Amino acid sequence: MGAMNAVEDVEHINFRLVAVLKLSGELGEDALNALRDFVRACNQTLLKKGVPESGRGAEIVRFRVLNEAERADEAENVDEAENADEAEKASDVIPGANAIEVEIHSDRYVRAHDALLRFRRNLAGVLGRYRIGLRGIDVRTYEIEMDWRDEVRVKSLPFVKNLSLSDGKLRLSLELSEREIERRIPDRILRLLYEKREMARWGGKKEHWELLFESERKEILFDRDPAEEMIRRCWIVHGASRGQWIYGPQITRIFRAFERILMEHVCKPLGYHEMIFPKVVTWDVWKHSGHARAIYPEAYYVCVPKTRDPEYWEDIADYFKITGEVPTDRIMERIENIGGLCYAQCPPFWIFLRGKTIDDDCLPICVFDRSGTSHRYESGGIHGIERVDEFHRVELVFIGTKEQVISHAAALRERYRFIFEKILDIEWREAKVTPWFMAQEGRAGVASDREVGTVDYEALLPYSGKWLEFQNVSVNGDKYPRGFSVKLRSGRELWSGCSGVGLERWAAVFLAQKGLDTENWPQSFREIVGELPEVFKFV
Amino acid sequence: MGAMNAVEDVEHINFRLVAVLKLSGELGEDALNALRDFVRACNQTLLKKGVPESGRGAEIVRFRVLNEAERADEAENVDEAENADEAEKASDVIPGANAIEVEIHSDRYVRAHDALLRFRRNLAGVLGRYRIGLRGIDVRTYEIEMDWRDEVRVKSLPFVKNLSLSDGKLRLSLELSEREIERRIPDRILRLLYEKREMARWGGKKEHWELLFESERKEILFDRDPAEEMIRRCWIVHGASRGQWIYGPQITRIFRAFERILMEHVCKPLGYHEMIFPKVVTWDVWKHSGHARAIYPEAYYVCVPKTRDPEYWEDIADYFKITGEVPTDRIMERIENIGGLCYAQCPPFWIFLRGKTIDDDCLPICVFDRSGTSHRYESGGIHGIERVDEFHRVELVFIGTKEQVISHAAALRERYRFIFEKILDIEWREAKVTPWFMAQEGRAGVASDREVGTVDYEALLPYSGKWLEFQNVSVNGDKYPRGFSVKLRSGRELWSGCSGVGLERWAAVFLAQKGLDTENWPQSFREIVGELPEVFKFV
């Protein structure tokens, strides 16, 4: 939230809210007098609480009582001009008055909707003395006006019925119910606007990159694209789907050799145990992991039949049997989306721990999963086995106290370095990557934030001269334990980290640097992989 | 097709077709005379060729020439009564005659649409002499009337605009273009109708079951539901999705022990090599494998974004950020269905071989895949880990000549028997299962069909007294090589088979019979599985 407050501090923002609070009974003269005193008290103290010197807080600039007729009338004409006469109405007792209309203005301190909720909470006590209860709120209008630089375009937003930008001011007109005020929807809208502005500010630059380690340069043994050579040798064949390969016996053996190296030199010495994480990931999981914020353009979506009654599907099957075509448009009407395919691998694991309290004795917990595929709808850049839609990854997850997680990440990086240096003998480097907005603002000052983050592993692809990110080690702080409500018996803060080992990426890097002929491979790796099997012979 | 012909032989079916063949020029008197002779020849020989004694074949019962005006008129009133005057018209030369209308009746031999195609093919030669070409066909009406038992309900079918059932007769009125005649759509509609009738005939009875082997009875060591006990011990935790588990370290270790047994006692001795099969399966694959005929109620569907342009998805992300909810209805409008998740595991492998010719020398080919999950939208019967939506299976595929595949299946069954008897020590049985309609008809008489089929492995679940199918060995004949156009250099017939080893099913069976306490397990298995890890401790 640091980034957002930093922005807020230097700009102007105004909130203007008109709402009608409905009552269970008629407001008589005594009650009206009490209300008048209460509004005064609100404007003097209640709506100013917690507001700094520089701020103004909220103010009820106008209020009046209404009866049924006026409420209906008003609902049709909410934009009526304010004038002195109108302000006077508040003082008058009117027959059948069973609602209070208030207009609240505020700056960013005690935002108008928070002021309304404070008002309501305390009003209940005031009117209770006259045996009058509160019956709900109609929000008539809610306007926000804020400084906005023209270059950040916003077209439409949920709950915003009108949005205009002129003279460096963004004006929003919101349509909200009482429930949405209670859910602080206006705050969420503002947070989203600030986020969009941050994104625009950093533009294409997604992350700050800082070199941590670079291996020695290695002799170039191969300068072609290994994918093309693998296709030629039938080690890989395009699958029927986009960015998907069928891996033949030779490359599969290489993948499994990588896995054995990982088991022998990382998982065993560091005390990992294998688990099996789910591979269909529901929105419930992605809501908690945060992926529901941004995954949409890259997800592979999973849908299930609205019913598995065979009769419901009979005409679809008939259509295929008769035409030889599958009517996917009609299928779309009969299925519903429940989530997507494994994207980041560890989120669905956290359901195993959700809501549980862990005994400190069993920390650190180190588990890994290699039970299935991951899927990303990649951009045009699908290439060879470096960037594919369907890939295979061993995911390591480590959980412990902050100190345990930080020291485990270091140990993990040690083990990886050993593999890349002593077994695979590749040219590689390690870099700390930080999202730009975090790198640029106050957050870097907070010690824990400096520890949270990702170390990327990159290796040179001689055929293109580019560096490919082929693996990572991330310290995620308390993000997942917090997102999935996992606690520690001692009450200490629980942290976690993860590391994804993509078999395609390891192969892309190793084969690009060493080529496909085993005699050029380091002896250490040849011993592990053994002889590559020749199974198929095509004419 | 055996079943369908058997049915056809005992019933009546009639086809009545009216079509207009459009010509490139005007039919003069000479051409009309030639046409008249040609129609006579058709009715005497061309439309009778290949018709058995008992049959009638096809006949052009009426023909006439039309000009533009009459064609248009006729198109509006196709059901005009036939009468003698009308039949006479054929003889008259009319001005501007540039089309021929024919009415063809037939029984099942030379069906009316085949007769039309024969007529067209030969007509081209007849009219060519007068420099008149064919310009396409309008099918005006196509009626089929056939014997039908009332109990088989058919509501609607593609290309059928009218369908009625009365007096034991089913009457279909088809709406077809020339292209659909060429694609033999009427034949496909009939085939589908016969199939529906076969299905109805066998009702719930899907397959014929024949015991092949039964193990000795074993001492019952456990009589509870192992899934409940696993949940209690946190060996498994429900995943966020339907019929999905997260497998903890203990059960994962048991799964991996099963896998090692399979490697050691099946894959290595029988010469298997590992490959990696795709897990997103496109319709293209399922069209060739035949799954597109019936998979719909049980599939997990995969959809991809219509575009991965982040702007296209921005409002969806905004909606989540503001409301905390994912608008799945709106997502459905922005994704498209490409296929589904792995269901039977081996079909997508066949893309590796599609259209290729294999050298006989490399046979038999034995490969396996264990690279990911399989998914089935199971019915209400989801229970424990016996029947789940997301499961883990090692799939073995063997390819060779017919003799090789048959003898390999036998060898495979030998190896499995060894595992179940000597290592897992379970109570199990082996049964040959055959779809009922195959078991009951002539097909069983064909030697190769007797070899094609599935052997199911079943084991007793003491807690329920039921037998659970936990594995299979299938000989698929030439189905896959034919479906994916894979040939053998020698030209000999290529066969294949497959065997799916479901880790959940093995565990369900083993743990139901032996319980969760390792001291009750056979020594042979305890040595392989080792000590079960205790990783998590919850408060």
Q: Tell how strand B357-358 and strand B487-488 pair up.
A: parallel
CA B528 to chain centre: 40
Chain B residue with CA closest to A273: the answer is B249
Tokens for A248, please give them: 């033949």
Specify the range with the lowest mean pLDDT, choosing from A86-100, A325-339, A369-383, B295-309.
Answer: A86-100
Amino acid at B151: E
**CB A224 within 8 Å of CB A359:** no
Residue of A4, A234, A237, A279 to mutate, testing the B interface (most B Cβ within 10 Å of its Cβ): A279
Share of chain B above pLDDT 70, in %: 90
Helix axes A185-202, B310-323, angle to 10 degrees: 150
- DSSP collapsed to 3 states, A289-345: HCHHHCCHHHCCEEEEECCCCHHHHHHHHHHHHHHCCCCHHHHHCCEEEEEEECCCC
pLDDT tens string A251-284: 999 999 999 999 999 999 999 999 999 999 999 9
**CB B298 within 8 Å of CB B489:** no
Give the torsion sign (CA, A286, A292, A298, A299).
Answer: positive
User: What is the structure's pLDDT at A21?
Assistant: 96
Which of B191, B321, B332 lies closest to A332 in CB terms?
B332
Tokens for B135, please give them: 């310009």
Q: Which residues of A touch B277 (CB under 8 A)?
A: 246
Q: How many CB atoms lie within 10 A of CB A213?
A: 12
Residue A445 pLDDT class (50, 70, 90 cuts): very low
Residue A42: which of A122, A131, A100, A135 has the closest Cα? Answer: A122
User: What is the structure's pLDDT at B199?
Assistant: 79
**CB A389 within 8 Å of CB A376:** yes
* Residue B37, C-beta contacts closer than 8 angstroms, at least 6 positions apart: none
Tell me the ipTM for this assembly: 0.90
pLDDT tens string B42-92: 999 999 998 888 889 999 999 999 988 777 766 555 444 444 444 444 557
Distance between CA atoms of residues B474 and B364, nearest Å = 16
Tell whether pTM > 0.80.
yes
Which 8-state DSSP code applies to residue A426?
A: -
State how far the alpha carbon of B411 is from the alpha carbons of B259, B324, B523, in Å: 19, 56, 25
Instruction: Say yes or no: B157 contacts chain A, CB-CB below 8 A.
Output: yes
| Three-class DSSP category at B266 | helix
Q: What is the mean pLDDT of residues A387-413?
A: 97
- Active site (catalytic) residues of B: 346, 376, 378, 387, 395, 456, 469, 472, 498, 505
Q: Which residues of B touch A249 (CB under 8 A)?
A: 273-275, 367
Residue A3: which of A145, A146, A194 has the closest Cα? Answer: A194
Residue A31: which of A86, A98, A115 has the closest Cα? Answer: A98
Residue A10 pLDDT class (50, 70, 90 cuts): low
Which 8-state DSSP code applies to residue A360?
A: G
- How is domain A5-202 classified at the CATH fold level? Alpha-Beta Plaits (3.30.70)
Cβ–Cβ gap B158/A323 under 8 Å: yes
Helix axes B249-262, B503-514, angle to 10 degrees: 110
Amino acid at A262: L
Q: Over the Cα atoms of chain B, what is R_g?
A: 31
Q: Which residues of B touch A379 (CB under 8 A)?
A: 308
Interface of A with B in 496-535 (CB under 8 A): 533, 535
User: What is the structure's pLDDT at B167?
Assistant: 86
Distance between CA atoms of residues B49 and B46, nearest Å = 6
Q: How many CB atoms lie within 10 A of CB B207?
A: 18
Provide the strand spans (E) within B485-539.
487-488, 494-502
Say how many CA atoms lie within 13 Å of A224 toward its Cβ.
Answer: 10
**CB B416 within 8 Å of CB B422:** no
Amino acid at A55: G
State how far the alpha carbon of A425 is from the alpha carbons of A226, A227, A500, A522, A524, in Å: 17, 20, 20, 7, 9
Tell me how close the Cα of A187 comes to any Cα of chain B, in angstroms.
9
Domain spans in chain A, listed from the N-terminal domain onward:
5-202, 206-279+345-529
Cβ–Cβ gap A351/B157 under 8 Å: no
Instruction: Say yes or no: A307 contacts chain B, CB-CB below 8 A.
Output: yes
Distance between CA atoms of residues A476 and A406, nearest Å = 10
Tokens for B506, please give them: 């093995």
Instruction: Say yes or no: A242 contacts chain B, CB-CB below 8 A.
Output: yes
**CB A399 within 8 Å of CB A424:** no
Tell me how close the Cα of B531 comes to any Cα of chain A, in angstroms.
12
Buried/exposed code over A25-57 (b: 16+ C-beta within 10 A; e: otherwise) = ebbeeebbebbeebbeebbeebbbeebeeeeeb
Cβ–Cβ gap A379/B308 under 8 Å: yes
Whether pLDDT at B363 is above 50: yes
Tokens for B65, please give them: 């020439």
Amino acid at B375: H
User: What is the structure's pLDDT at B67?
Assistant: 86
CA A80 to chain centre: 42
User: What is the structure's pLDDT at B436?
Assistant: 63
Whether pLDDT at A86 is above 90: no
Distance between CA atoms of residues A455 and B536, nearest Å = 27
Q: What is the mean pLDDT of residues A318-345?
A: 97
Cβ–Cβ gap A357/B538 under 8 Å: yes
| Three-class DSSP category at A31 | helix
Distance between CA atoms of residues A14 and A173, nearest Å = 12
Distance between CA atoms of residues B181 and B187, nearest Å = 9
Residue A204 pLDDT class (50, 70, 90 cuts): low
CA angle A119, A125, A131 (to 5 degrees): 125
Instruction: Say yes or no: A263 contacts chain B, CB-CB below 8 A.
Output: no
Average pLDDT, chain B: 90
| Three-class DSSP category at B128 | helix
**CB A254 within 8 Å of CB A260:** no
- DSSP collapsed to 3 states, A210-248: EEEEECCCCCCCCCCCHHHHHHHCCCEEECCCCCCEEEC
Buried/exposed code over A86-103 (b: 16+ C-beta within 10 A; e: otherwise) = eeeebeeeeeebbbbbbb
Distance between CA atoms of residues A262 and A418, nearest Å = 11
Amino acid at B274: E
Residue B158: which of B134, B176, B140 has the closest Cα? Answer: B176
Residue B98: which of B129, B127, B77 has the closest Cα? Answer: B127
Instruction: Say yes or no: B174 contacts chain A, CB-CB below 8 A.
Output: no
Specify the range with the lowest mean pLDDT, choosing from A16-25, A89-98, A144-153, A298-307.
Answer: A89-98
**CB A249 within 8 Å of CB A237:** no
Specify the range with the lowest mean pLDDT, choosing from A435-439, B238-242, B409-413.
Answer: A435-439
pLDDT tens string B35-47: 999 999 999 999 9
Helices (H), B324-401: 328-332
Interface of B with A in 363-422 (CB under 8 A): 365, 367, 371-373, 375, 377, 379, 389-390, 392
Instruction: Say yes or no: A313 contacts chain B, CB-CB below 8 A.
Output: yes
Q: What is the mean pLDDT of residues B484-510?
A: 97
Domain B206-279+345-529 falls under CATH 3.30.930.10: yes
Q: What is the mean pLDDT of residues A405-409?
A: 97
Q: Which residues of A touch B307 (CB under 8 A)?
A: 297
The helix (run of H) or strand (run of E) holding residue B226 is: helix B226-232
Distance between CA atoms of residues B293 and B314, nearest Å = 38
3-state helix, strand, coil in chain A (%, to 5): 40, 30, 35
Helices (H), B339-386: none
